[in-house]
């Protein structure tokens, strides 16, 4: 899936589809995976080339005003004027982690430059999903040792560190306020529906709580995560919300098409709860969510392909989507690295 301009978006079966071009969303995901992979194995043969391409994409995608392009063709020519709030959030997530945790000093430098330009724009972002991604990145940049990975290299410049802290608190407070305005006793959530990337919002509250010590963030994150789990993981099988209708507050839930992005997000959310509380049951729940990739799902079908590291694009009733796009494959790799690191600490 890797091309000189970045990671391609889609595939046709196992063959990359150059016509799909590349995007900020997937290169941010790829940069995170490359960081985690090199942290796990400094001799990993592909992580540096993937991370170099992804970091370069993020750098050249940023406008002088701090916003980002999202979409580009296979040669890296941008095809949009400005990306979505969600793509902005994912870029800040990757930059926040890279700024303090990347093993390559040039990646840290790229990330810090991009963060400094983007931070003044954070108060303009309103989407709860985008705010969640921003919080994940800024919590990692502000307090990596408790909200992400042990830091590497020099600390942030004091001015940038202060800007990161203020932006983190502002974004986390905004996410909390959004939750408090939208939620109810029987629906402690940010919106009147459950759609995609659901686990990232409670995870963001939990990572922000770890970084700042704010107890209201922690309580909101735990309550929202347990609410989501009651719907998707009440037993020993993770059943993510399907994208063929989602889950409306007053309606039935969709069971298919189940997406790898959901399993990855749920793994990270459970691991954030485990790291914050030390409660071993949360780590065990992360393993249940991860097992979705390897057949621990409603159809008992494996989506991950360990021989190649790829992942099928979705789970339907009785079969899988045979395409193996970037989002799916990177979701599997991310979850694999995250759960591996957590389980290696098992007593």
Digit-coded pLDDT (tens) for 316-328 = 999 999 999 999 9
264 within a domain of the structure (yes/no): yes
E strand intervals along 107-231: 193-194
Residue 314 pLDDT > 70, yes or no? yes
C-alpha 132/C-alpha 153 separation (Å) is 26
Residue 137 pLDDT > 80, yes or no? yes
Q: Which contacts qualify for 163-166: CB closer than 8 Å, 24 or more apart?
A: 163/116, 163/119, 164/96, 164/115, 164/119, 164/138
Q: How many domains does the chain have?
A: 1
Predicted structure pTM score: 0.97
Give me the mean pLDDT over the 299-320 stretch. 96
Give me the mean pLDDT over the 276-305 stretch. 97
According to the model, what pLDDT value does residue 345 have?
56
280 within a domain of the structure (yes/no): yes
Residue 346 pLDDT > 50, yes or no? no
257 within a domain of the structure (yes/no): yes
pLDDT digits 0-9 by tens, 183-207: 999 999 999 999 999 999 999 999 9
Residue 123 pLDDT > 70, yes or no? yes
List the domain range (segments joined by +) for residue 270. 231-347
Tell me phi and psi for residue 256, to 5 degrees: -135, 155
C-alpha 328/C-alpha 311 separation (Å) is 6
40 within a domain of the structure (yes/no): no
25 within a domain of the structure (yes/no): no
Helix axes 326-343, 260-277, angle to 10 degrees: 30
65 within a domain of the structure (yes/no): no
77 within a domain of the structure (yes/no): no
145 within a domain of the structure (yes/no): no
**Which are the contacts of 340, defined by CB distance < 8 A and separation ≥ 6?**
40
- Largest Cα–Cα separation, the chain: 55
Residue 250 pLDDT > 90, yes or no? no
pLDDT digits 0-9 by tens, 139-172: 999 999 999 999 999 999 999 999 999 999 999 9
Q: What is the DSSP string of 48-94?
A: HHHHHHHHHHHHHHB-TTS-B--EE-TTS-B-SSS--HHHHHHHHHH
């Amino acid at each position: 899936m890797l091309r000189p301009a970045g990671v391609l978006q889609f595939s046709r079966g196992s063959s990359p589809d150059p016509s799909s071009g590349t995007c900020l969303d997937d290169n941010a995901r790829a940069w995170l995976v490359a960081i985690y992979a090199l942290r796990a194995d400094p001799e990993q043969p592909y992580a540096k080339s993937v991370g170099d391409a992804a970091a370069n994409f993020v750098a050249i995608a940023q406008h002088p005003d701090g916003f980002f392009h999202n979409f580009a063709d296979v040669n890296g020519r941008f095809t949009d004027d400005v990306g979505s709030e969600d793509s902005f959030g994912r870029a800040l997530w990757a930059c926040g982690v890279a700024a303090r945790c990347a093993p390559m000093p040039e990646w840290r430098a790229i990330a810090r430059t991009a963060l400094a330009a983007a931070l003044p724009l954070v108060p303009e972002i309103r989407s709860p999903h985008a705010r969640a991604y921003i919080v994940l990145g800024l919590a990692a940049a502000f307090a990596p040792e408790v909200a992400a990975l042990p830091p590497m290299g020099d600390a942030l410049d004091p001015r940038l560190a202060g800007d990161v802290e203020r932006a983190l608190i502002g974004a986390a407070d905004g996410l909390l306020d959004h939750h408090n305005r939208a939620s109810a006793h029987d629906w402690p959530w940010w919106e009147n529906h459950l759609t995609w990337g659901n686990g990232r919002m409670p995870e963001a509250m939990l990572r922000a709580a770890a970084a700042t010590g704010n107890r209201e963030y922690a309580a909101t994150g735990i309550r929202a995560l347990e609410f989501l789990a009651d719907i998707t993981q009440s037993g020993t099988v993770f059943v993510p919300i399907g994208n063929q209708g989602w889950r409306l507050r007053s309606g039935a839930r969709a069971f298919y098409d189940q997406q790898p992005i959901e399993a990855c997000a749920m793994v990270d959310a459970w691991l954030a709860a485990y790291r914050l509380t030390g409660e071993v049951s949360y780590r065990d729940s992360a393993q249940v969510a991860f097992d979705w990739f390897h057949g621990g799902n409603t159809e008992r079908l494996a989506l991950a392909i360990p021989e190649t590291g790829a992942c099928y694009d979705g789970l339907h009733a009785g079969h899988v989507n045979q395409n193996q796009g970037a989002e799916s494959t990177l979701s599997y790799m991310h979850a694999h690295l995250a759960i591996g690191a957590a389980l290696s600490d098992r007593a």
